Each structure stands twice: as C-alpha cells, then as structure tokens.
Amino acid sequence: MAIEHADVLRAAHLARLGLDNADADRYVDDLTRILNMVDRLREVDTEGVAPLAHPLDATQPLRADEVTEPDRRDVYQRCAPAVSEGLYLVPRVVE
Amino acid sequence: MQWETVIGLEVHVQLATRSKIFSGASTAFGAEPNTQACAVDLGLPGVLPVLNENAVAMALRFGLAIDAEIPEVSVFERKNYFYPDLPKGYQTSQMAQPIVGRGTVEILLEDGSRKAIRIHHAHLEEDAGKSLHEDFIGMSGIDLNRAGTPLLEIVSEPDMRSAKEASAYLRAIHTLVTYLGISDGNMAEGSMRCDVNVSVRPKGQAAFGTRAEIKNVNSFRFVERAIAFEVERQIDLLEEGGKVVQETRLFDPEADETRSMRTKEEANDYRYFPCPDLLPLMLDSAYVDHQRSLLPELPSAKRERFIEQLGLSTYDADILASDRDTAEYFEQVMAVCDDPKLAANWVQGDLSARLNRAGLSIGESPVGAEQLGGLLKRIKDETINGKAAKQVFSDLWERRFENADQVIEIKGLKQVTDSGALAQVIDQVIEANPVQVTQYREATEEKRGKMLGFFVGQVMKASRGTANPQQVNALLKQKLDALC
C-alpha cells in the first residue's frame, strides 16, 4: 500500500500535529515501511481467528456505582490558563 | 411524483447512574460548573478509566427488554475528534462490538395499529461537556460536569416512513427506558436526545435516497417538525432538479427549519480504534440471567394483561400502560376499589384533567392512589352518587381531608337511598311547584319526559346532591303520573 505526502498531511491535520514539508517527507518513508510490514502480516492465515481488541488475556473489571470523587475544582483549575465563574475559558468556538 | 420518506433515529439516553461511566464523580443535574468533573473526566495525564457496573447492567436490561442479541464480549473504542468540551480529544464509545445487538421495538400508530421497528444495535458511551458561547468576550466557557455521564445510544434501522412514526418510536423508547428505570427520560434536562436521519425516494424505488442527519432534536414535537421541514426541503430540491447533499443539519425550533451545520468540513473521520485503557467487557450467562430476573413487567405485557384480565378497552389499556407511574397508580386505585373500568375512567378523566390544569405529573398528584381508590369504592357500593364524588375528589385535591370516608361523613354526602325519606323530599318539591305540576299534567307523554328534568333538579337540590338520581327519577315519575 502506497502512502503519499498528502495522506501524511491529512493525518497530521486530523491529529492536530504541525508538520512542515521536510517532516512530512520523512513520515512518508517511515509510514511506508510500517505499512509494508502490515502487508507482510496480512500473508499470515488468520482464518477463524477473532480480531484481538487487547493484548492482555484479561477482561474489564467493573466498579460499583458509587460517588467517590469529591469536588476538587479549585485544585484542577490552578493549572488552567483562564477560568471564570467556575468555567474553563478557551478561545471562542463557534459551529 | 409521489415521494416516500425514510427515517432512522439515533437516540441518546442518559443512564440514571449515580456516578459517571468511567469515574466516581457524581452525575447529579444542576451542580455548579465543574464541581463534578474529576481528573478522569478532565482527561488529565496518568488517569485510568474503570467501568461502572450499573451502566453495564442498565444497557443490558435494555437489550433484554427489546429481545436483542447480547454478545458475550463487547469492546470500547476511541472516537477521535477535537472540541474543547472533549478534553481527552476522543470520546470513549463502542463501534465494532457494541454491548447490545439486533433487537425490535414495537410502536403504536395513531390508528391503533402496531409496527415493529428494528434496532440495529445499542452501545455505551460517555457524554461530552458543555460549551457556553455567551457572556465571555472572544472566549467560550467550558463546563465538564456532564463529561463522562453514561449514555446508551440506540440506533434504529431506517424503518420509519413518516414524522408520526418517528415520534411514536421516540415515545416507545421513552416508555421503555422509564419502565426499566434506566433513565429519568427528562427531555428538558437533556436525558434523551436524538439525531434523525431523513431521506426521500420516489415511491416504489428500492434504493434509499441521500440522507441528511438532523442533530440534537430534544422533544417529541420537535422531531415531527424537524422531519416535516426536512422532507419538504428535500422534495423541493429534487423536484427542481437539484441533489440532496449528505450533511449534518441543525433544527432551529424558533425559525421552524433545519440549517446546514458543517458546510466546508471534510467528511468526518473519527479514526476509531480499541481503547487501550479498557479491557474487553465479558458478560457471562449467570450475569445476563440475573439482569433478566430484574426486568419489570414491560409495557406490552402490561397492556395485554389490562385488556385480557381486567377487561379494559384497547384504548384505555394503551394509555394506562404507556407510562409506568400512571400504570402503577391505576393498579393501586384498582386494588382498593376493585373495579378496573371505574378506576380507568377516573385516572384518565377527572384526575388527568386536574393534573394537566395544575401542570403536575401523576407522581406529584395531591390525591394519592389509596385516596382515589377509597373514593371509587364509595361510588361502587353506592354510598355516594357521581355528583357527590366530584365534590369529594375536589376536597381531597385541596388536601382538606385525609380520605373519602371522612369527607362523606363530615359533609353529609351519603346518598339518600331510603325511599321513605326520598318520598318526603319529592312530595315537598311537588307541593312547592304547582304551576309546573299543572303544565306536566297537561303535556304529552313525550314532553313530560323532558319536563321531568326540572323536578329531578329540584329534588337533587333539596337533598343537597345526596339523592340517588336513578331512584329520584323513578319515584318522581311514579308520583307525578299518579296525579295525572
């Protein structure tokens, strides 16, 4: 599977990563090698093998439905750049 | 050209857990901003989500109630997108392996017929926070209290063919989740929201048309209006030779229209992948059976029982079974008065009218089920007549008395069935109205029937409404006719 410069830029945009053209070229090479490896994996016969969602041979533990977290807003908001009336402030977003 | 509408709904139901789906923060509505957003909800580095057992149980009970396939394993995935009210940069959701598989929900149409709507699947996910765009110059305020609240997203097949069917489906889901007690179903507070997929196609065509998705429709009425507008827009567009674009639209209830939300943005690419922080969820058969044993009697079963065992009409049974609180109230009233039809009439008639006027739900009724049952018992055993019953009901509503018997006793509303006492009252009325008696004597048989009403009214008045109307009628006629 071939990956192109434009694919890398699009993936970077979706992940909100800032890449310049030289970076992007490097990633085209890296990702191409990774995809080549995936192509080789595809040659393995996986007939009848269920897709693996997690490498650990374990299942999800569950917790009881209890409120255990106290209000620690003041602590959490100390590291926020801007807050007002208990809200976190961010650059204006409009749909 | 004749057009056919095709509708599918994605309903987000907020599950009524105490804590969030992956953290121990509270889900209570209406708290001060960000006081219920803990490190996990904020997506701080180094935190680990742990799944809430009750959210799993509730999703499972929904699946069992719609007779859905329940896979042994389900998997949480990350749905990646950037928005400030989603601090992690992804929503934890399910896609390839949801907790609830294919099932069916039956809807009730206006003509009384039923239709099965197929459910494609239902999955668990977390809600996002809220963005507030007013009041902050050049900035948006973010409240993350809602972030991490458990949602069950119920995805239907495109099986609905009209706006009415879509709102009937939404009602059926509402009835079901409130019966199951897995959600408060409060649409005004956002406990149930839906996205509507709408397309049109020429009647008879098998392939679906291009659909538009209308986001965040949050009332039964808005669902109908949003669809009505969207269908007309698409038909106009197609008839003018245009094309429907696959896009996301927003319903504006004030302008009563849908508007395109994302015009230039590329098609969504959420890059789902299994969440490495959460292991696959396994549901063994003992757990599934246990949840099944917790299911209450479901609306459809209740409805059948009301018709077959209690002899209610289909209409009465539909209304009474459509809401769990109403059904339970009705059953309590009936248990006390032992007359299903009388109980059904009062719950749907006087009680419901009074509640509507006062803007109260049945759970908030000032007249409890025991009290209403006690009142109906006295109608049934003929202690009081219908007119006195209304007065007793009013007194109970105003909370002036504890129960019907007390009102009847203190106000002397006991129906006079003693024919001797009644005969005396009737004689007095006849004596006091000689002119009307003469007119009655001179009238034809047909007219006499109508004139009898005057005398009945006088007798009822003289007895302060306590006389038995049937008895008054019979005795009066006997006495008057004897004078002729």
What are the pLDDT digits (tens) for B94-118? 999 999 999 999 998 888 788 999 9
Give the pLDDT confidence score for residue A1 in this predicted structure: 62
> Model confidence at B266, in pLDDT bands (50, 70, 90)?
low
- What tokens were used for B283? 């549901």
Q: Please list every residue in chain B whose beta carbon sits closer than 8 Å to the beta carbon of residue A90.
A: 84, 139-140, 142
Interface contacts A/B by beta carbons within 8 Å: 129
Cβ of B97 within 8 Å of Cβ of A64? The answer is: no
d(CA B26, CA B13): 17
- Would you call B281 and A86 a contact, using CB atoms and an 8 Å cutoff? no
B378-390 tens-digit pLDDT: 999 888 888 889 9
Percent of chain A with pLDDT over 70: 97
B124 contacts in chain A (CB < 8 Å): none
% chain B with pLDDT above 70: 98
- Cβ pair B274, B239 in contact under 8 A: no
Of residues B68, B113, B77, B111, the one with CA closest to residue B96: B77
Report the greatest alpha carbon distance in chain A: 59
DSSP code of residue B26 = B
Give the best residue of B21, B22, B27, B34 to mutate against chain A (max A CB count within 10 A). Answer: B34
Whether the per-residue pLDDT at B264 is higher than 50: the answer is no
pLDDT of residue B420 exceeding 80: no
Please answer yes or no on whether B140 and A63 come within 8 Å at the CB atom: no
The pLDDT value recorded for residue B291 is 97
B234 or A55, which is more confident?
A: B234
pLDDT of residue B262: 64
Q: Is the pLDDT of residue B263 over 70?
A: no
pLDDT at B47 over 80: yes
**Residue A67 to residue B26, Cβ atoms within 8 A:** yes
pLDDT at B257: 87
Identify all chain B residues contacting A67, using CB atoms and an 8 Å cutoff: 18-19, 24-26
| Contact assignment for A60 to B281 by CB distance below 8 Å | yes
> Which residues is B281 bridged to in the sheet?
B74
Q: What is the DSSP letter of B217?
A: E
Q: What is the mean pLDDT of chain B?
A: 91
What pLDDT does B237 receive?
A: 94
Question: Lowest-confidence range among B150-154, B290-294, B308-312, B431-435?
Answer: B431-435
Asked whether the predicted pLDDT for residue B402 surpasses 50, the reply is: yes
Residue B123: predicted pLDDT: 98
Q: Decide if B245 contacts B210 (C-beta within 8 A).
A: yes
3-class DSSP assignment, residue B455: helix
Helices (H) and strands (E) in chain A, counts: 3, 3
Task: Inform me whether the C-beta atom of residue B36 falls under 8 Å from chain A C-beta atoms.
Answer: yes
B271 in contact with chain A, both atoms CB, cutoff 8 A: yes
Report the gap between the CA of B74 and the closest CA in chain A (Å).
10
User: Measured at the alpha carbon of residue B292, what is the angle toward residues B287 and B294, in degrees to the nearest 5?
Assistant: 100
- The predicted model gives B317-339 an average pLDDT of 94
Tell me how far apart the alpha carbons of residues B175 and B159 are, in angstroms, rounded to a whole number: 19
Q: How confident is the model at residue B136 (pLDDT cuts 50, 70, 90)?
A: confident
- pLDDT tens per residue, range B231-242: 999 999 999 999
> What CA–CA distances, in Å, run from A14 to A9, A18, B110, B123?
9, 10, 47, 25
Residue A50 has pLDDT above 60, yes or no: yes
Radius of gyration of chain A (CA): 22
pLDDT, tens digit, for every residue of B178-221?
999 999 999 888 899 999 999 999 999 999 999 999 988 888 88
Chain A hits for B142, CB-CB cut-off 8 Å, are 87-90
Which of these, B44, B36, B129, lies nearest to B83 by C-alpha position?
Answer: B129
Record the tokens describing residue A38, joined without a space. Answer: 């995936």
What 3-state class would DSSP assign to B215? Answer: strand
Report the interhelical angle of B324-337 vs B369-380 (nearest 10°). 40
pLDDT band of residue B372 (cuts 50, 70, 90) is very high
- Considering only CB atoms, which chain A residues are within 8 Å of B33? 85-87
Could you read off the pLDDT of B423-473 as tens digits, one per residue?
888 888 888 888 888 888 888 888 888 888 888 888 888 887 788 888 888
Sheet holding A83-84, edge to edge: A83-84, A87-91, B139-143, B130-132
CB-CB: which of B24, B50, B139 is closest to A91? B139
Scanning B113-152 for CB atoms below 8 A from A yields 131-133, 136, 138-144
B263-267, B372-376, B452-456: range with highest mean pLDDT:
B372-376
Tell whether B281 lies on the interface with A, counting CB pairs under 8 A: yes
The shortest C-alpha distance from A68 to chain B (Å) reads: 5
Q: What is the token pair recorded at B272?
A: 């789902």
Q: How confident is the model at residue B86 (pLDDT cuts 50, 70, 90)?
A: very high
Residue from B349, B412, B348, B415 nearest B378 by CA = B415
